[in-house]
Structure 1
Amino acid sequence: MARRFVTLDVFTEQRLAGNPLAVVLDAEGLDTAAMQAIAQEFNLSETVFVMPPTEARHRASLRIFTPGRELPFAGHPTVGTAVLLALQDPSRGDARAFGLEERIGIVPCVVETLADGSGGRARFRLPILPEYLGPGPEPALLAPLLGLKPADIGTGRHAPSRHGVGPSFTCVPVGSVTALDAARPAQAPDPNDGLYLYTPDPEGTGQSWRVRMFAPNFGVTEDPATGSAASAFAGVLMQFEALGDGTHDVAIRQGEAMGRPSEIALQLTIEAGALRSVEIGGAAVIVADGTLHV
């Protein structure tokens, strides 16, 4: 059966930057094994399969796969697929709002598309808030894995910690961009986690961070942009940063070490000292489309 697919670059406005994504349209009839095999064939950090929603008021139902496993939720697939679906809507205006059904729940999205049909920007709100999963491993354990020194681990009040939002991450602060760039990809000590390294961005203002993410156990040696990890990072900021009530905009840069720079917009809303909502936003641009014969 012929099935259309589209590839996009996500968390960037430039083609051949950001995080590549494959979206398989009209995925009805594919079983889990077939979807996993197709994701392995694309060999991108994630591949999305689009199916009709279970409820008519939603835009679509999504399943998301890395080359190694299915994910309940992921950020760059949500942004890229939301932009693509908005572009396909013949009645689209300057902005569209709809829900996407993912294994984690209903993900509300707002999309603005470009008039030439080449891409757009999407923002989504997490259906669940980040969960604190406990302290991370000691620097003496993490540093050898990453090819760093124990003194490179830590920045300000930050210490290694574990947070999840569907996918889980061991979050590791490092003391400088130099140490971040020098780190070698590694698997987190907990095999279920991605390994998320972060440091303050000296070129940014306010809450600006440079990050890298490694997940070899999921078939992703290094990811150019990781929306789910950025979502979990909201929990890190709540734990270690002195954030007051209100809305906080956080700029995250990722992918520089891979030559695929990405920009992720993270927004936290805090009320009475508690995290009330988390939103992730970014751009996506279409790169190519084609046909799968499966």
Structure 2
Amino acid sequence: MSVSIVHACLRDGHGGSPTAVLPEGAFTDDERRAVPAAWGTSHAVFVSERHGDVSLRFFTAEGELPACGHGTVAALAVLADRSGQPEYATTLHAGGRSFAGRAVRRAEGLQASFDPGPVTLREATVPERELILPLFPTLAGPPVVASVGRPRMLIPVPTRADLAALAPDQDRLREACDRLGLLGCYVHTVPTADGRAAARMFAPSIGVPEDIANANSTACLAGHLSRRGFTTLTVDMGDSLSSPSSVTATAETGPAGVRVDVGGFATLATG
């Protein structure tokens, strides 16, 4: 099994989310689910290249995901590294959609970004608030439910200290998310004027008690904050897991709605 371990969404050249990237093959789903634990990662990405098309499948120990943001960053880094080109661009296929992905070689690694698709937003319902919010008692505003394929709750807290102090009951959170059909809870600080924030993503329902980096949820936050005039966003994650990470996103509003681009730096540890 040829596996590349990619540290996706590094911050200042350090940390990042270790992600297993490997060529598609004749694997059973059980074998795919076993890859993250075998290689010490939270996610695995299976990459298929055929006639110029690139398809991605994402797995955790719990099963397949329709999308994975930092997994997409990791796959783009591997593809760009193998191309040997200073700039790489392709069309990716995953979760029933096709989208643009790109990577640029920098001194500190590969800067990868992609189009996560349209962001849908709505207010959290009363049952959602009643089940979820008791696990996150310090709020800086109303939560929203956002999706780029699967819904997750965005929960604002006032400060980084409030964020660092969180220790939600994972069993209760999983039960609530399973009942509500939520991917998880993305808890974030109020961004500064220049669009800097911090976040933690809790997703026990997919076998990830806390994600080191979560690009798709950051894309959701960028779409949400674009309504308040934010066009760029940098979100720090992973500090509570001793693996500092950063995800960047831009949002543009046009006739078709809000278009988000999200990504981060990545380096290949093995290949």
TM-score by length of 2: 0.87
Distance of 2:217 and 2:232 partners within structure 1? 16
Which residue matches 1:234? 222
Distance of 1:16 and 1:41 partners within structure 2? 23
Q: Bigger shift: 8-17 or 131-140? A: 131-140
Which residue matches 1:45? 42
1:280 to 258, 262, 266: 262
Which residue matches 2:22? 24
Change (3 A) 1:139 1:105: closer
Distance of 1:134 and 1:46 partners within structure 2? 29
What is the CA distance between 1:267 and its match in structure 2?
A: 0.6
Change (3 A) 1:114 1:177: closer
Note the residue ranges of structure 1 that are not aligned, 5 or more in a row. 290-294
Which residue matches 2:177? 190
Deviations 1:83-132 (A, max 9, x none): 1111112xx332111112112412211111257xx841111112x20122
Which residue matches 2:246? 263
Higher Cα Rg, which structure: 1
Native 8 Å contact 1:9 1:17 kept in 2: yes
2:206 to 197, 214, 218: 218
Which residue matches 1:99? 91
Which residue matches 1:181? 164
Q: What SS is found at the alignment partner of 1:87? A: helix
Q: What SS is found at the alignment partner of 1:270? A: strand
Does residue 125 (structure 1) correspond to residue 112 (structure 2)? The answer is no
Native 8 Å contact 1:9 1:15 kept in 2: no
Native 8 Å contact 2:234 2:246 kept in 1: yes
Q: What SS is found at the alignment partner of 2:269? A: strand
Change (3 A) 1:15 1:67: farther
Native 8 Å contact 1:136 1:160 kept in 2: no
Which residue matches 1:243? 229
Distance of 1:132 and 1:205 partners within structure 2? 22
Which residue matches 2:124? 135
Distance of 1:15 and 1:196 partners within structure 2? 24
Distance of 2:11 and 2:123 partners within structure 1? 36
1:165 to 139, 148, 155: 148
Does residue 144 (structure 1) correspond to residue 127 (structure 2)? The answer is no
Report the AA paired with residue 286 of structure 1.
Answer: L
What is the CA distance between 1:141 and its match in structure 2?
A: 4.7
Q: Could you say what the CA RMSD is over the residues aligned between the two structures, in angstroms?
A: 2.4
Which residue matches 1:11? 9
What is the CA distance between 1:280 and its match in structure 2?
A: 0.5
Native 8 Å contact 1:73 1:104 kept in 2: no
Distance of 1:281 and 1:103 partners within structure 2? 18
Native 8 Å contact 2:177 2:205 kept in 1: no
Report the AA paired with residue 285 of structure 1.
Answer: T
Q: Bigger shift: 165-174 or 39-48? A: 39-48
Note the residue ranges of structure 2 that are not aligned, 5 or more in a row. none
Report the AA paired with residue 5 of structure 2.
Answer: T
Report the AA paired with residue 280 of structure 1.
Answer: V
1:108 to 85, 100, 104: 100
Native 8 Å contact 1:83 1:113 kept in 2: no
Which residue matches 1:85? 79
Deviations 1:145-196 (A, max 9, x none): 24x3xxx21x2xx411111111321111112222111111442623232111
Q: What SS is found at the alignment partner of 1:171? A: strand
Identity level (%):
25
Distance of 1:211 and 1:16 partners within structure 2? 17
Q: What SS is found at the alignment partner of 2:228? A: coil
Change (3 A) 1:140 1:276: closer
Change (3 A) 1:251 1:61: same
Distance of 2:63 and 2:234 partners within structure 1? 29
Native 8 Å contact 1:8 1:285 kept in 2: yes
